């Protein structure tokens, strides 16, 4: 992997020049000039996912220059380095091998060990255990089968599995799934109200098994279960751990037998493919979990083996860089036209922002270019009635990804689906092409200080357009296609991290807040006045102590 600063490349300079040439060109003209634009700027992924990137402020020349950037940065070799298990997460001295978790290779060597053997064992254990719980043979300590599963975890130990379980609600079996992440006691207490301790299984998911939120919630769950069940073996029958830290798991009281391990080469936010996906396997069955992995694998193959100019994650990453680094857009929006995908933007927020929210390059210098964007989003059509006004007529340029499926996701109300899709198709059209000002609009009288002044209302009804979007249209939201879609975004983020010349797979930026919270928590133990922090923090804590 080469540690080249993007701004030092010839391609960057050429893109900078090109930007000034085409920044005011309107998509209306680009489409008008080229009937083949859609065919040129869309990729069909196995007849299952169509990615249309034609509604972007790009020309063939733009793409050529962006691809030159990828080549100059030596992206292809960086991709190989990741798949080959090189220790590309250098600040933590680790490989990044979540792709191995969904691989069909017979062997992948890491640290002189074939990790495929461990992965296969892990998957066999997930399969065996999921089947026991789903078919009712796994009994709680009072002899009853499990009805409810509570996943306790946060960040990557929550967002991925909870998102997948929600998106694939249509595939769900009889088990009721709950996810507790927040340390706010209202989260776990709201779940306690819904479950029966005798028939509930807790999955404690934490790579480090030190995360304050997860350990606090896990201890609360343990005390709650002890109080209600009054049986010595309640932990053995009701608590499962998923972690890379076996020692802490054992100290917590969970046996090795009830522990699903994963490894330091799996990043938290890339871990749903590992035993962290146990809740997925429990909710939709192991076979569907395997379909999810297979779908991701098909995207891995595409990413690893397809030329850069036809490579979906690469193209989307480069277009993202075009807006982030040349148009200087600050944010990027994700709009799934699918209510079950409502947590997909939140999941991608962590994937993207925890990965590429960095300001030091791989050579140890402060970056002099923008790195990862702010990612946000909501499902359509709800967003249309909330914030799309700003997308259409605001002063900010916000590139958007619109995601939808041809088949409805988990219902048979075709009239709803047709209307949903008509909005999906219309919004990107409105954003791209806008609406010309009509001179025929009626003028209104504006009365100010008694003086009549007429003004042109049509100005307010004008849509300038030229607002970019990608449309991602899936045949169906099934486990396989969802796996491909998630992997697509993972690889997009990796590609951008390589071009930004940053380390995508660490997350030191979350440490300071965590450590301060530990210290502050000690200061909250008594009622004495606090003076050790800055005046703002002292003032806030003392006000809290005064009124609590
Ligand atoms: O699985 P763990 O170790 O509890 O960590 C949870 C999350 O916390 C983070 O470290 C950030 O605080 C994420 O990267 C991770 O997904």
- 83-135 confidence digits (pLDDT tens): 999 999 999 999 999 999 999 999 999 999 999 999 999 999 999 999 999 99
Q: Do 19 and 53 fall within a single domain?
A: yes
Ligand 1 atom 12: the closest Cα is on which residue? 510
Kindly state the helix (H) or strand (E) to which residue 114 belongs, with its residue range: strand 113-114
ipTM comes to 0.98
The residue to which tokens 């079996």 are assigned = 173
Q: Which residues contact 72 (CB under 8 A, 6 or more apart)?
A: 4, 9, 10, 11
Reduced to 3 states, what is the DSSP secondary structure of residue 147? Answer: coil
> 266 CA to middle of ligand 1, Å?
12
CB of 320 sitting under 6 A from ligand 1: no
Q: Do 265 and 381 fall within a single domain?
A: no
Confirm whether 77 is domain-assigned: no
Confirm whether 299 is domain-assigned: no
Query: What would the mean pLDDT of 179-183 be, rounded to a whole number?
Result: 98
Domain containing residue 314: CATH number: 3.40.50.10490
Q: Report pLDDT for 446.
A: 61
Rg over alpha carbons for the chain, rounded to the nearest Å, is 26
How many contiguous H segments (helices) and E segments (strands) does the chain have?
Answer: 21, 15
Q: Do 147 and 35 fall within a single domain?
A: no
Confirm whether 88 is domain-assigned: no
> 269 CA to middle of ligand 1, Å?
8
Q: Do 341 and 193 fall within a single domain?
A: no
> Measured at the alpha carbon of residue 344, what is the angle toward residues 343 and 348, in degrees to the nearest 5?
120
Number of domains composing the chain: 3
Q: Which residues contact 321 (CB under 8 A, 6 or more apart)?
A: 6, 66, 69, 496, 499
Confirm whether 421 is domain-assigned: yes
Q: Of the candidates 325, 296, 288, which has an alpha carbon nearest to the alpha carbon of residue 313?
A: 296
Q: Identify the domain boundary among 234, 262, 290.
A: 290
Reduced to 3 states, what is the DSSP secondary structure of residue 333? Answer: strand
Q: Do 150 and 280 fall within a single domain?
A: yes
Q: Identify the domain boundary among 238, 264, 290.
A: 290
CB of 154 sitting under 6 A from ligand 1: yes
Q: Report pLDDT for 436.
A: 77
Identify whether 464 is a catalytic site residue.
Answer: no
Confirm whether 317 is domain-assigned: yes
CB of 507 sitting under 6 A from ligand 1: yes
Q: Between the CA atoms of 330, 382, 481 and 241, what dihedral angle is there, to the nearest 10 degrees? A: 80
Confirm whether 454 is domain-assigned: no
pLDDT beyond 90 at 326: yes
Domain containing residue 534: CATH number: 1.10.1390.10
CB of 259 sitting under 6 A from ligand 1: no
Q: Do 499 and 378 fall within a single domain?
A: yes
Q: How far apart are CA 452 and CA 454, in angstroms?
A: 7
> 474 CA to middle of ligand 1, Å?
30
Catalytic residue among 13, 443, 514, 532: 514
Q: Report pLDDT for 448.
A: 64
Q: How far apart are CA 503 and CA 497, in angstroms?
A: 7
Pocket mutation for ligand 1, best pick of 94, 151, 156 (most atoms within 8 Å of C-beta): 156
Query: What would the mean pLDDT of 365-392 be, rounded to a whole number?
Result: 97
Mean pLDDT score across all residues of the chain: 96
Q: How far apart are CA 127 and CA 278, in angstroms?
A: 9
Percent with pLDDT over 70 in the chain: 97
Catalytic residue among 227, 385, 438, 448: 385
Ligand 1 atom closest to the CA of 510, numbered from 1? 12
Ligand 1 atom 13: the closest Cα is on which residue? 155
Q: Do 12 and 117 fall within a single domain?
A: no
Q: Do 106 and 239 fall within a single domain?
A: yes
pLDDT beyond 90 at 23: yes
Task: Could you list the beta-strand ranges (E) of 271-388.
Answer: 331-336, 374-376
pLDDT beyond 80 at 452: no
Query: What would the mean pLDDT of 435-462 be, rounded to a whole number?
Result: 70
Ligand 1 atom 9: the closest Cα is on which residue? 155
Q: How confident is the model at residue 443 (pLDDT cuts 50, 70, 90)?
A: low
Q: Do 369 and 481 fall within a single domain?
A: yes
Q: Identify the domain boundary among 290, 322, 341.
A: 290
Q: Do 477 and 519 fall within a single domain?
A: no
| Least confidently predicted of 1-5, 130-134, 384-388, 490-494 | 1-5
> 207 CA to middle of ligand 1, Å?
7
The residue to which tokens 């916000």 are assigned = 398
- Mark residue 147 as left, alpha or beta (left: phi above 0; alpha: psi -120 to 50; beta: remaining): alpha
Q: Report pLDDT for 22.
A: 97
Confirm whether 224 is domain-assigned: yes
Q: Do 363 and 417 fall within a single domain?
A: yes
Confidence (pTM)? 0.96
Digit-coded pLDDT (tens) for 234-291: 999 999 999 999 999 999 999 999 999 999 999 999 999 999 999 999 999 999 999 9
Reduced to 3 states, what is the DSSP secondary structure of residue 328? Answer: coil
Q: Which residues contact 518 (CB under 8 A, 6 or more apart)?
A: 212
Q: Which residues contact 138 (CB under 8 A, 6 or more apart)?
A: 129, 132, 145, 146, 201, 237
> 155 CA to middle of ligand 1, Å?
5
> 72 CA to middle of ligand 1, Å?
34
Distances (CA, A) of 255 to 125, 249, 251, 438: 15, 8, 9, 72
Identify whether 490 is a catalytic site residue.
Answer: no
Domain around 530: 511-547
Confirm whether 423 is domain-assigned: yes
Q: Which residues contact 526 (CB under 8 A, 6 or more apart)?
A: none
Backbone φ and ψ for 105, nearest 5 degrees, come out as -65, 145
Identify whether 354 is a catalytic site residue.
Answer: yes
Ligand 1 atom closest to the CA of 507, numbered from 1? 14
Q: How far apart are CA 373 and CA 334, in angstroms?
A: 12
> 215 CA to middle of ligand 1, Å?
12
Q: Do 45 and 27 fall within a single domain?
A: yes
CB of 151 sitting under 6 A from ligand 1: no
Ligand 1 atom closest to the CA of 153, numbered from 1? 4
CB of 484 sitting under 6 A from ligand 1: no
Ligand 1 atom closest to the CA of 154, numbered from 1? 6
Q: Of the candidates 478, 408, 281, which has an alpha carbon nearest to the alpha carbon of residue 486?
A: 478
Q: How confident is the model at residue 1 (pLDDT cuts 50, 70, 90)?
A: confident
Query: What would the mean pLDDT of 182-206 be, rounded to a whole number?
Result: 98
Handedness of CA 130, 133, 134, 137 (dihedral sign): positive
């Amino acid at each position: 992997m080469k540690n080249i600063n993007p701004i030092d490349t010839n391609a960057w300079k050429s893109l900078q020049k090109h930007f000034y040439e085409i920044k005011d060109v309107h998509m209306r003209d680009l489409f008008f000039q080229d009937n083949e634009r859609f065919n040129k700027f869309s990729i069909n992924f196995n007849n299952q996912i169509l990615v249309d990137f034609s509604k972007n402020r790009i020309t063939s020349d733009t793409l050529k220059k962006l691809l030159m950037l990828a080549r100059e940065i030596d992206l292809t070799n960086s991709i190989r380095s990741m798949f080959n298990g090189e220790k590309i997460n250098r600040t933590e001295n680790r490989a990044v091998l979540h792709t191995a978790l969904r691989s069909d290779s017979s062997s992948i060597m890491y640290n002189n060990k074939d990790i495929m053997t461990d992965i296969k064992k892990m998957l066999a254990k997930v399969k065996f255990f999921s089947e026991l719980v789903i078919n009712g043979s796994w009994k709680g300590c009072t002899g009853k089968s499990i009805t409810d599963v509570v996943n306790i975890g946060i960040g990557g130990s929550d967002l991925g599995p909870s998102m997948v379980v929600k998106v694939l609600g249509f595939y769900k079996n009889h088990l009721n799934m709950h996810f507790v992440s927040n340390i706010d006691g209202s989260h776990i207490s709201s779940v306690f109200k819904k479950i029966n301790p005798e028939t509930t299984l807790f999955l404690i998911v934490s790579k480090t098994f030190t995360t304050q939120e997860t350990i606090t919630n896990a201890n609360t769950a343990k005390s709650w279960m002890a109080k209600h069940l009054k049986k010595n073996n309640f932990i053995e029958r009701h608590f499962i751990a998923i972690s890379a830290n076996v020692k802490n798991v054992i100290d917590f009281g969970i046996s090795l037998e009830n522990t699903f391990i994963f490894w330091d080469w799996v990043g938290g936010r890339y871990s749903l493919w590992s035993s962290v996906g146990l809740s997925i396997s429990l909710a939709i069955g192991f076979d569907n979990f395997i379909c999810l992995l297979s779908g991701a694998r098909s995207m891995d193959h595409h990413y690893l083996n397809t030329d850069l100019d036809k490579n979906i994650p690469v193209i989307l990453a480069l277009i993202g860089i075009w807006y982030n680094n040349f148009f200087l857009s600050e944010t990027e929006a994700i709009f799934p036209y699918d209510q079950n995908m409502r947590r997909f933007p939140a999941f991608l927020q962590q994937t993207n922002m925890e990965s590429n929210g960095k300001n030091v390059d791989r050579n140890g210098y402060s970056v002099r270019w923008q790195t990862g964007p702010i990612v946000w989003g909501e499902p359509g059509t709800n967003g249309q009635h909330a914030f799309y006004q700003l997308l259409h007529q605001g002063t900010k340029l916000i590139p958007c990804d619109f995601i939808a499926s041809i088949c409805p996701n988990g219902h048979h109300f075709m009239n709803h689906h047709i209307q949903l899709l008509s909005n999906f198709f219309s919004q990107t059209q409105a954003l791209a092409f806008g609406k010309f000002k009509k001179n025929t609009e009626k003028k209104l009288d504006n009365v100010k200080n008694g003086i009549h002044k007429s003004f042109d209302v049509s100005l307010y009804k004008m849509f300038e357009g030229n607002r970019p979007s990608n449309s991602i249209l899936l045949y169906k939201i099934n486990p396989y296609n969802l796996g491909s879609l998630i992997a697509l975004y993972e690889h997009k983020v990796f590609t951008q991290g390589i071009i930004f010349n940053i380390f995508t797979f660490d997350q030191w930026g979350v440490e300071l807040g965590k450590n301060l919270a530990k210290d502050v928590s000690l200061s909250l133990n008594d009622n004495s006045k606090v003076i050790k922090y800055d005046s703002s923090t002292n003032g806030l804590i003392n006000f809290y102590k005064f009124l609590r």
